[in-house]
Amino acid sequence: MIKSSYEPESDTTRLGLDRTWLAHERTLMAWVRTSTGMIAFGFTIYKFFQHEGWDVGRKHSVITPRDFALMIISISLITLLLAAIGRRRGARVISKELRRSCSSLAEIVAGLIFVFGILVLLDVALYY
């Protein structure tokens, strides 16, 4: 018996790939939530101490609230970018196996949060 070069994929394989793709989506959304929280935390610390007048006369400390906010926001943006890149790589492999393009709402949300984070970072970096 001659086997054809094309064998239809089984339902279990397709469902397994769908579950894996959804797991990538959930993981990226978890990174989006974590990054959003870190951006908000960094900005809140910066604004709280700015409002309290902490920087007046205390410029000789090792790390200021502004420096802390810049570090936390930068770390969250870097991790969000790395998570999106990792998700994209995984989705590319799954898309090839499924033989269809997989659009991602999680990537759109991650992009929007990344832009928001850049704006917050610029606000903290440029305005005292």
Domain locations in the chain?
A: 35-52+63-128
Backbone φ, ψ for residue 54 (5° rounding): -65, -35
Tell me what the pLDDT averaged over the chain comes to: 85
Backbone φ, ψ for residue 107 (5° rounding): -65, -35
pLDDT above 70: residue 56: no
- Binned at pLDDT 50, 70 and 90, residue 109 comes out as very high
CA distance 91 to 82: 14
Q: What is the DSSP letter of 58?
A: -
